[in-house]
Structure 1
Amino acid sequence: MVESGVANRRTNRRGQATRESMLDAALTALASGDPGAVSGKRIAGDVGVTWGAVKYQFGDVDGLWAAVLRHTAERRGDLPAGSVPTATLHERVATIIDNMWDGLDSADSRAIETLRAAMPRDRDEFERLFPRTAAEFASWGDAWLATCTRAFAGLGVDPERVAEVAAFIPGAMRGITSERHLGSYNDLDLARRGLTNAIAHYLRAEG
């Protein structure tokens, strides 16, 4: 019984290591920006296993991409947006903007953008063809709103305005990040400062 238990633990460790290798290979391939990277068979080839081995770990390609998204979320952890109770509203907004500025330039973020670009644009079709991946993306939206709500807790900020800000910050920051990658002539530090000031002013305003 003891020997059997040890063997099972070793098998489980090997299986987990194989799973981690597949996820890391998927992220590396996706981070390249190559649309062809969104292929379960390519990931299998990069790891040196069969497509059947990938299916054994994740069920299907939808399960693979959902697991990739969970893997990046676990590595990222919670965004420490304005977690200091004594921070001012402006400081909390700046923390969110600065963290997103850094995060959107990471390899994981580039991988996620490649995956997003390959998914169906129509939401109904996306949810029909990739239900687990779509659900994972949807959960990110809920988690992000919760993060922003916590960030401004105790300041008496209108929750509807927090929801509005949470909705547009990711797109706005992706635009600024895109400018960085394209070699913009604009002063992007100035752009981030302007965005921070605008958000803080909006959240502080009454009515």
Structure 2
Amino acid sequence: MTEVPASRVRRPNRRGQTTRANMLAAALTALASGDPGSVSANRIAKDIGATWGAVQYQFGDADGFWAAVLHLTAQRRAELFTDVDAGAPLRDRVAAIIETLYHGLAAPDSRAIENLRAALPRDPDELERLYPQTAAELYSWGQSWLQTCRNAFTGLDIDPERVREVAALIPGAMRGLASERQLGSYADLDVARRGLTNALVAYLQGTDIKTT
């Protein structure tokens, strides 16, 4: 994928910095509501009494605006996994990742990003064509998440390819469990998370599973 700057860098004065911060905060609040109509940079600007020109000055365009929103939430998310003990047994590390994601997916930032992603093109080529900066941020999220998993399992004798596969699996699996929690379910989600943890630990530890 072609590298594209995550957002256009400006050095605004203090008032400009406040305006930028207010726009990003308003975006997260609006997006977290789940309203499809909230995915509008122009509407968000109006919510805080700003103009479309102010958005363009701060972020360039809607693409730059959404990229900045993603970048901000990525910075916040990186702090969530600092509690994964790199000296703990494998099971404890996997359980910590599962629990962190399970509870984190209920947070406003996560709801905001899910709403934003739902409004963006599904096809990667179209996304990169229409929203190159936003696509670059999403790509960087995936790379950062893979590195987070590698760091979480450092010091353990685990096949790197299995770490990569598990890193690819966990986010989708956790969104499924988070959806069950949101919609209401007869399933015991504590048991589900324990089962997922056990399965991941067994796979990461296993030596007799053929991969293709």
One-letter amino acid of the structure 1 residue matched with residue 88 of structure 2: A
- The aligned residue for residue 87 of structure 1 is 88
Asked if residue 191 in structure 1 is aligned to residue 192 in structure 2, the reply is yes
- The aligned residue for residue 61 of structure 1 is 62
One-letter amino acid of the structure 2 residue matched with residue 56 of structure 1: Y
Deviations 1:154-187 (A, max 9, x none): 1111000000000010000000000000011110
Q: Is the 8 A contact 1:62 1:130 kept in 2?
A: yes
- The aligned residue for residue 138 of structure 1 is 139
Deviations 1:3-33 (A, max 9, x none): xxxxxxxx71111011000000000000000
Asked if residue 116 in structure 1 is aligned to residue 123 in structure 2, the reply is no
Question: Larger RCO: Structure 1 or Structure 2 (Cα < 8 Å, ≥ 6 residues apart)?
Answer: 2
Between Structure 1 and Structure 2, which shows a larger proportion of helix residues?
1
Deviations 1:14-59 (A, max 9, x none): 1101100000000000000011001011011111111111111000
Q: Is the 8 A contact 2:84 2:96 kept in 1?
A: no
One-letter amino acid of the structure 1 residue matched with residue 61 of structure 2: D
Structure whose alpha-carbon radius of gyration is higher: 1
- The aligned residue for residue 8 of structure 2 is none
Q: Is the 8 A contact 1:79 1:147 kept in 2?
A: no
- The aligned residue for residue 161 of structure 1 is 162
Consecutive unaligned residues in structure 1, runs of 5 or more: 1-10
Identity of aligned residues (%): 65
Q: Is the 8 A contact 1:82 1:93 kept in 2?
A: no
d(CA) in 1 for partners of 2:37 and 2:81?
34
- The aligned residue for residue 7 of structure 1 is none
Q: Is the 8 A contact 2:86 2:93 kept in 1?
A: no
User: How far off is 1:74 after superposition?
Assistant: 1.8
Q: Is the 8 A contact 2:86 2:152 kept in 1?
A: no
**Distance change (3 Å), C-alpha of 1:107 and 1:115:** same
SS in 2 for 1:77: helix
d(CA) in 1 for partners of 2:178 and 2:65?
27
Q: Is the 8 A contact 1:30 1:111 kept in 2?
A: yes
d(CA) in 1 for partners of 2:147 and 2:86?
16
Taking structure 1 as the reference length, what is the TM-score of the superposition? 0.92
RMSD: 1.2
d(CA) in 2 for partners of 1:167 and 1:81?
20
- The aligned residue for residue 27 of structure 2 is 26
Point out 4+ residue stretches in structure 1 off by more than 2 angstroms. Answer: 75-86
User: How far off is 1:82 after superposition?
Assistant: 6.8
Consecutive unaligned residues in structure 2, runs of 5 or more: 1-11
User: How far off is 1:81 after superposition?
Assistant: 6.2
- The aligned residue for residue 203 of structure 1 is 204
User: How far off is 1:75 after superposition?
Assistant: 2.2
Taking structure 2 as the reference length, what is the TM-score of the superposition? 0.90
Asked if residue 129 in structure 1 is aligned to residue 136 in structure 2, the reply is no
User: How far off is 1:84 after superposition?
Assistant: 2.2
SS in 1 for 2:98: helix
d(CA) in 2 for partners of 1:82 and 1:151?
10
